[in-house]
Structure 1
Amino acid sequence: MNNKLCVITGANSGIGFETAKALAQKGAYLVMVCRNEDKAEAARQEIIEETSNPGIDIVLCDFAIQAEIRKAATEIKKNYEKIDVLINNHGFLASEQEQTVDGLEKTFAVNHIGYFMFTNLLLDLIKAADQGRIISVASEAHRAGEFDPENIQLNENFSPWKAYGNSKLFNILFTKELADQLVDTSVTANCLHPGVVASNFAQSGSWIMRMLFTIGKPFFISPKKGAATSIYLATSDELEEVNGAYFRNKKVATPSKTARNKEAAAELWDMSKKLCSV
């Protein structure tokens, strides 16, 4: 990983932070894409102190806002000629139904359109690498999701957990369709379940979700363990030819039947393009 450029979203806390730190330890140059500048700078300094690797840049982006996603991608394209690894790691769990400034349901916007839009805007830089990798953090929560083209943003029957499960399903469908489109390139796209991680992730969720996460926290894995599969997908030489797979515990796993539906993946892709004009 020495001198390879790794772009990681949501890199200032949780598994994103642990992934960034591990890659810095291996000599990678990092671009941490974060929403909060103060938290990002604090994380950057901590990684530098622990790894003695000063090669870390910060790009600010709120993935709920499409204009900010475009701005962040433009900044990266202006400063770098290629990206060796893109890790879509940021995530959001709603406490209630909320629309973004672009008129999208927020969980859908952040967790799915954020991955879709950012990846597509940076794709030329990833293709410029000798062997580019796109890694998207999904979840076993996708098994609670469904693909309903008539209710893609849960305008009907919304619940925070349903919106989250749908978004994680969409991460896998996005990866499947992207991988198919990348077959004749030097780029691969894979996704993963990180495990149920003891982090502050659920603090934005409903009081029920916060309570469940608080009660269950002693049984969850650490962010460091949760980052293990992301790190493996970013660094392992044996994965150079692996494309379109879903990983759990650093092994290929079988996602839900819906997540393997090629027609659903293609339809979601077309719908997503229209919603963000990519």
Structure 2
Amino acid sequence: MELLALCWHPLWVPCTLVLSVVLWARRAAWRPAACPVDLRGKTAVVTGANSGIGKCAALELARRNARTILACRSRERGAAAVEEIRRATGNPDVHLRILDTSSMASVRNFARQFLEEEGRLHILVNNAGTTDAMKASAPSRIVNVSSFRHQTGEANVQFLSGKEYPKNVSKAYDSTKLMNVLFTVELARRLQGTGQRTALPSRGVTVNALSPGIVHTEIMKNYSWWVRLLFHLVGILFLKSPTQGSFSTTYCAVSEEVEGISGKYFDSDCRLALPSPLARDPAIGRKLWEASEKLVGLDDGGREPASRKVA
């Protein structure tokens, strides 16, 4: 009843309209249309590209004439996205590769297949284990999609092994996004010097994390129907569309303003921002990285041991 009474308050409508205008105006300070960068001759991989932000980011890269590879778990949905992007952009050089990031066998198979067939990689949206190809293709960019919700995440190494679990789905999401930023900072540190042969920092491999903002996607699909309904109703007025939500991803992947910048975090308005203090702790980043290396069977240099390699 209190909520109903609030909705009937005389200031409800004007306040809602003002808030809607403010949020609409702040949806993004940067627009892809204002960036003239052409990616002809470049190869880009986008993971989770069959829907939402990933598909919109892949479409934008394809529109700029990049050879665009969609790394998707579902062959059917991935193939549909490939055809849609080809039709929308007129770029026939858009391809599907199967990748299930929850399976290390699938990740390794994807990486090996990519190195055998492509060899060069200039843009990676999310990480699929093809860093060697990026070093050979420098200047290259890795873009990790995080979230502003990393601020409330927990960097518990035990979450990685399953020895402990987050309290709920929301806490799991927040912690995952915090780890995205921690890995970004640590990977940037480990990639320092990849451009030394040219004596130009911007000629190496850079990696940055970003927040797309609050985007109207399928992210709530595992919640109850009433939560999904509320999310949909709120999304009509206040949330970004997947296309708008992909702007910060595109900004980090192609914009001239980000050239040479690495180990940083950008907000949903494509502005350089400070992540949470926890996300900037180098000791936690190293600890998380080393634990991950052990879990996925990599040595200290990020390479797969010879005993595990398939001839």
Under a length normalisation based on structure 1, what TM-score does the superposition of the two structures give?
Answer: 0.85
Q: 1:266 to 1:211 in 2, by over 3 A?
A: farther
Deviation string, structure 1 residues 113-150 (Cα, Å, up to 9, x no partner)? xx4xx2xx311100011301110000011112012345
2:186 corresponds to? 177
Candidates 146, 155, 180, aligned match of 2:164: 155
The 2-side partners of 1:56 and 1:122 are apart by 19
The 1-side partners of 2:130 and 2:43 are apart by 13
The 2-side partners of 1:184 and 1:71 are apart by 28
Deviation string, structure 1 residues 161-184 (Cα, Å, up to 9, x no partner)? 111100000000000000001111
Instruction: Please state whether the residue corresponding to 1:221 is helix, strand or coil.
Output: coil
Question: What is the CA RMSD across the aligned residues, in angstroms?
Answer: 1.7
1:126 corresponds to? 134
Aligned-residue offset at 1:207: 5.5
Do structure 1's residue 237 and structure 2's residue 237 form an aligned pair? Answer: no
Aligned-residue offset at 1:214: 3.1
Q: 1:209 to 1:22 in 2, by over 3 A?
A: same
Aligned-residue offset at 1:237: 1.9
Do structure 1's residue 225 and structure 2's residue 244 form an aligned pair? Answer: yes
Alignment of 1:243-258 (within 5 A): 243-248=262-267, 249-258=269-278
The 2-side partners of 1:79 and 1:125 are apart by 11
1:99 corresponds to? none
Q: 1:240 to 1:203 in 2, by over 3 A?
A: same
The 2-side partners of 1:147 and 1:162 are apart by 11
Unpaired runs of 5+ in structure 2? 1-38, 195-203, 299-311
1:92 corresponds to? none
1:141 corresponds to? 149
Q: 1:133 to 1:39 in 2, by over 3 A?
A: same
Do structure 1's residue 4 and structure 2's residue 13 form an aligned pair? Answer: no
Q: 1:208 to 1:130 in 2, by over 3 A?
A: same
Aligned-residue offset at 1:241: 1.2
Deviation string, structure 1 residues 188-218 (Cα, Å, up to 9, x no partner)? 0101001111011220345575355334322
Unpaired runs of 5+ in structure 1? 89-114
The 2-side partners of 1:258 and 1:208 are apart by 34
Higher CA-based Rg:
2
The 1-side partners of 2:178 and 2:284 are apart by 11
Instruction: Please state whether the residue corresponding to 1:46 is helix, strand or coil.
Output: helix
Q: 1:157 to 1:240 in 2, by over 3 A?
A: closer
Query: What is the aligned-residue identity percentage?
Result: 35
Aligned residues: 248
Amino acid in the other structure paired with 2:245: G
Q: Is the 8 A contact 1:9 1:33 kept in 2?
A: yes
Aligned-residue offset at 1:62: 1.4
Candidates 68, 71, 74, aligned match of 2:112: 74
The 2-side partners of 1:122 and 1:200 are apart by 27
Instruction: Please state whether the residue corresponding to 1:204 is helix, strand or coil.
Output: coil
The 2-side partners of 1:12 and 1:151 are apart by 27
Do structure 1's residue 65 and structure 2's residue 85 form an aligned pair? Answer: no
Deviation string, structure 1 residues 43-69 (Cα, Å, up to 9, x no partner)? 111111111100011111111111111
Instruction: Please state whether the residue corresponding to 2:221 is helix, strand or coil.
Output: helix
Q: 1:148 to 1:212 in 2, by over 3 A?
A: farther
The 2-side partners of 1:68 and 1:149 are apart by 23
Amino acid in the other structure paired with 1:15: I
Q: Is the 8 A contact 1:154 1:163 kept in 2?
A: no
Q: 1:57 to 1:151 in 2, by over 3 A?
A: closer
Q: Is the 8 A contact 2:124 2:142 kept in 1?
A: yes
2:125 corresponds to? 87
Instruction: Please state whether the residue corresponding to 1:180 is helix, strand or coil.
Output: helix
The 1-side partners of 2:156 and 2:99 are apart by 29
